[in-house]
Chains A and B, each alone.
Chain A
Amino acid sequence: MSLLEAEGITRVYGPGCERCRERTGDDAGTNQCPACGSVVACADVELSLAPGEVLGVVGESGSGKSSLASVLALAADGTEGVVDGELRYAGYDGYDGNLLAADYQTRHALRTAHIALVHQHIRDGLDMGFSGGGNVAETLLRAGWRSYEDVRERVRSLFEATEVPVARMDDPVATYSGGMQRRVQLARALATDPGVLVLDEPTTGLDASVQARVLDTVRRLQRERELSAVVVSHDLGVVRLLADRTLVMRHGRVIESGLTDRILEDPHHEYTQTLINSIV
């Protein structure tokens, strides 16, 4: 049984042509179509996520991981590029068709309460003009929360769960440390108890000790709340700690997938072997 299922997920930046797919990918050694110049950020990606499962997606910069993450989180709206494929989610009674073909309202409802994205770039995920608490409250208000007291209480408990000092709740989020800003993003993503969490490079750019603490928090939340999550990272250590199964991406394609320990100890694809051998 799957909670989230994706098939043929493709995202192309540029005009696109008939030859885009055959002339890009791992065999072609590029994600840019030599015929029309379009960038095939990801193509033909198939995946499924079971309830309570954590799926890792690894690959180097430009492999298409973040493009895939934003498609899965329905966050590709209003951006450049053409998105194609089938995405189904079993946790929402209101709609069981292809989410990529759903109307704006449905997608908005899913984004608000069911599929949450923790952005790679903090500025994409937080409003730096707001307080930390305000950033989390904003998600709750969008989801229809109205009582001031309920919202305050919920924000407080989310700050506690993600280990952000509650005393800093009303300070501008711009004054928080990098690690705290990640945690506020997590709090914000968890605000409506989403069915699926998409984490895009959850620890990139943090000091090692701060990274470790953020990862510990994610692991604890995963255990306590039985979160279903897709974790995108260039860091195999992050995936080793968090993911049960892992996909390896290169040039916009999934080149290998399997149990995370199998990928790490018995990598099959030439690129995966290079990636494993590159661990410092």
Chain B
Amino acid sequence: MTADTDTDADTNSTPGARAARDAGADGDGDGDPPLLAVEGLTKRFRMHALDGREVLGLEEVSFSVPPGGFLAVVGSSGSGKSTLLKCVYRTYAPTAGSVRYRSPEGTVDLASCPDRTVLSHRGADLGYASQFLDEIPRVPAVDVVARPLRAAGTPAEAARERAAALLDRLQVPESLWDAYPATFSGGERQRVNLARAVAPRPRLLLLDEPTSALDPGTRAAAVDLLEEYLDGGTTVVGVFHDPEVIEALADRVLVLDGGTVERELPVGAFDAGVLE
């Protein structure tokens, strides 16, 4: 990497992250430097089929998340929540602004770094789960989950075992583990997707409504998994609709409205009633 790099090796082991969270760490960067610092993030889509009309996705969005922090992104439909995650993951190319991510190899600006740099993080320390499983066809569920572990160097057998344990924890019936997720129900697919995203314990995990299709029982299992399996080592930015999930997991809440930040506040001060 380049001069744009300030290596910091110790951020992956922050057992105190949850403690810091409980002690009221506010994530505005006055302790540890943030793991993710988004500044002035703007996304506009130019639609050529509509005579080049521009559609606003995000405008001047700024926030930061400390190592081990859990930021819930909320807002009405069309407010820019998914666009925000996709800009961080670079599935959308941001129009302006920066997305500074403190990766294991140093800080990179995901908004402007080369495509290959993005790819090298995606396979390893940067995870993303879309709302619905964008599955690779004809791959059994257990292998879908095991794949990122294999890519991270876990031996085949151990990867499959861990994948099976994750599916089990998320209450995916064992009879489905060797089947293709294309045939699964929405809730089953969503759990496979979540298991795949958390499996390698990425340093930064982006979740787009990972529990929207789950019933109360499986949702509780998903919350448990996110809480326990991802200890302080994973920083999460997630879009959520369910107030209970937000209260159980998040430490701060980012409220988007019309592509801009309406406010950002600690979860304790957040009135979940606005989501109902």
Contact = CB atoms under 8 A, between A and B. Distances in A.
Interface of A: 50, 53, 212, 216, 219, 241, 244-245, 258-259, 261-262, 265-266, 268-270, 273-274, 277
18 contacts: A50-B116, A53-B116, A219-B136, A241-B136, A244-B119, A245-B115, A259-B90, A259-B119, A262-B91, A265-B91, A266-B86, A266-B92, A266-B93, A268-B46, A268-B93, A269-B48, A273-B47, A274-B49
A265 B49 CA distance: 15
B91 A259 contact: yes
Contact of B92 (A212, A244, A245, A265): A265
A212 B93 contact: no
Contacts of B137: 212, 241
B214 interface: no
B270 interface: no
Nearest to A219: B136
Nearest to B119: A244
Interface of B: 45-49, 86, 90-93, 115-116, 118-119, 136-138
A266 B118 CA distance: 16
Contacts of B86: 265-266
8 smallest beta-carbon distances between A and B, as pairs: A270-B48, A266-B92, A261-B91, A273-B48, A259-B115, A265-B91, A245-B115, A244-B119
Contacts of A274: 48-49
A262 B138 contact: no
A273 B49 CA distance: 8
A53 B118 CA distance: 13
B90 to A, nearest CB: 6
A219 B93 CA distance: 27
Contacts of B47: 273
Nearest to B138: A216
Contacts of B46: 268
B49 A262 contact: no
A258 B93 contact: yes
A244 to B, nearest CB: 6
A268 B136 CA distance: 25
A222 to B, nearest CB: 12
B92 A262 contact: yes
B138 A212 contact: yes
Given A219-B136, A245-B116, A266-B45, 18 more contacts: A53-B116, A212-B138, A216-B138, A244-B119, A258-B93, A258-B115, A259-B90, A259-B115, A259-B119, A262-B91, A265-B86, A265-B91, A266-B86, A266-B91, A269-B48, A273-B48, A273-B49, A277-B49
